[in-house]
Structure 1
Amino acid sequence: MLVGKDELVKAINEAISKSKGRKFTETVEMAVNLRNVDMKKPENRIDTIVLLPHGVGKPRKVGVFARGETVIKARNANADVVLSPEDIEALSKDKRKARKVANSVDFFIAEAPLMPEIGKKLGSILGPRGKIPQPIPPLSDPKPIIERLRSSVKIRTRDKTTFHVPVGVKTMKPDAIADNALEVLKVVENKYENPSLVLKSVYVKTTMGPAVRVI
């Protein structure tokens, strides 16, 4: 284990205690700094989705690209946005609206046959935002993956050695937030051959509060 749970709980408690009262529920974020790794090499980059054991504190928004029966299934599963092939065409002609949709949703899934069309017409909008949809089989029930994504976060380093990720909200128990943080750190632990040499430092903070160093 790269970081002990007790260390995380202590830092999270300190970060929460140092944050002032706000009119909104602040997110608790974790910043992870890496070293001794060449991020110019694509194989060293992290681009993955992590299911947090206690969720993020507020459901993530999920959009679904679908046709026919899957549209109905997606709506029944309370997808935040359901987009048909006609919507793909319309958004490809209205980049401003396409950007608005992309920015309003955390994750997209899509019936596999729609992926080429999505890539061709919306790839330039979704790609840079890390929002390329996860493909699902045609006519499959999207509900299980929608529910899983609602409690997930995406880690995407690109060519940077630092990444930031939400691990909870201020109103959650520090113990639960620490469990979420450990799940994120497992990604680093499993990604690199010598993770202890790669992990430089870890910080936690609330949205508007000061950063507190964990290690």
Structure 2
Amino acid sequence: MPVDPEKLKVALSKALDMGKGRKFKQTVEMVVVLRDIDPKSQAGKLRETVVLPKGRGRRQNICVVADGELAEKAKAAGAFMVISSSELQSIGKKQAKKIADTCDWVLVRTDLMAQVGRVLGPALGPRGKPPVPMPPSADVSALIRRYENSVVVRTKEQPQLSVAIGTEDMSVEDLTANASSVLALLESKLPAGMGNIDRILFKTTMGPTVEVL
């Protein structure tokens, strides 16, 4: 059964109020504590991409690895960085780490995936940023817009997950819509749906956690 949006709003409002006063724009995070889930089991290993309906609240750097027309379209669409196959060949370990740190998402033309795996994979993998395959015929502009508003929902060592649902300058209504989208995904992916969710909490980057009651 879905969580009452009004309960999400109450907790979000409190978290925003208790976390305000910092000198930078804070991220708003949702922490979901799971029950009866072994994060080491296949069922407990979650890694899903969610498009937040109200956006991230801040710019994400979308990088594209492609050649020719697709590369030109990516530049025109405002990609943060476009890397050609020839440029890829000259990238060393230090530069690969810099790219992995700078790019939030790396979209790769499908025929270049193996090359990207060799060159950028060792840097992207530990940062939880696997490259995203992109068909040569893809609408790269639409993909860039999509991933600018996307987050990864994943479990790690513990039976819980933390995901950014926006920034503190967004409205409570928009943050609630984003949180609801993440919860809807979890409901569809967890073995027992919402029955596997024990607690839901919100916090700003530097603020205390507030539980949804």
Matched, 1:160 2:139: no
Alignment partner, residue 23 of structure 1: 23
Q: For residues 114-160 of structure 1, what are the alpha-carbon distances to aligned partners after superposition, in whole Å with 9 as ceiling and x for unaligned?
A: 00111122221112222222111125331101001111111121343
CA–CA distance in structure 2, aligned partners of residues 202 and 112 of structure 1? 38
Alignment partner, residue 170 of structure 2: 172
Alignment partner, residue 117 of structure 2: 119
Does the CA contact (< 8 Å) of 1:51 and 1:152 recur in 2?
yes
Alignment partner, residue 204 of structure 2: 206
Alpha-carbon shift at residue 180 of structure 1 (Å): 0.3
Matched, 1:83 2:83: yes
SS in 2 for 1:44: coil
Q: Which runs of 5+ in 2 are unaligned?
A: none
- Mean Cα deviation higher: 42-51 or 72-81: 42-51
CA–CA distance in structure 2, aligned partners of residues 162 and 34 of structure 1? 5
Superposition pairs of residues 8-87 of structure 1, within 5 angstroms: 8-87=8-87
Does the CA contact (< 8 Å) of 2:96 and 2:119 recur in 1?
no
SS in 1 for 2:31: strand
Matched, 1:5 2:9: no
Alpha-carbon shift at residue 76 of structure 1 (Å): 0.2
Does the CA contact (< 8 Å) of 2:52 and 2:178 recur in 1?
yes
Alpha-carbon shift at residue 59 of structure 1 (Å): 2.6
Q: For residues 142-197 of structure 1, what are the alpha-carbon distances to aligned partners after superposition, in whole Å with 9 as ceiling and x for unaligned?
A: 11010011111111213431211111111111011011001011121001231233
- Mean Cα deviation higher: 99-108 or 177-186: 99-108
Does the CA contact (< 8 Å) of 2:50 and 2:150 recur in 1?
yes
Alignment partner, residue 189 of structure 1: 187
CA–CA distance in structure 2, aligned partners of residues 50 and 20 of structure 1? 27
Task: Give, as a single letter, the amino acid of the residue that structure 1 aligns with 2:25.
Answer: T
Alpha-carbon shift at residue 87 of structure 1 (Å): 2.7
Task: Give, as a single letter, the amino acid of the residue that structure 2 aligns with 1:107.
Answer: W
Same amino acid, percent of matched pairs: 37
Task: Give, as a single letter, the amino acid of the residue that structure 2 aligns with 1:137.
Answer: P
Does the CA contact (< 8 Å) of 2:43 and 2:191 recur in 1?
no
Aligned length: 213
CA–CA distance in structure 1, aligned partners of residues 138 and 189 of structure 2? 31
Alpha-carbon shift at residue 39 of structure 1 (Å): 1.8
SS in 2 for 1:210: coil
Q: Which runs of 5+ in 1 are unaligned?
A: none
Q: TM-score scaled by structure 2?
A: 0.94
Q: TM-score scaled by structure 1?
A: 0.93
Matched, 1:133 2:128: no
SS in 2 for 1:109: strand
SS in 2 for 1:79: coil
Q: For residues 74-93 of structure 1, what are the alpha-carbon distances to aligned partners after superposition, in whole Å with 9 as ceiling and x for unaligned?
A: 100100111111232222x2
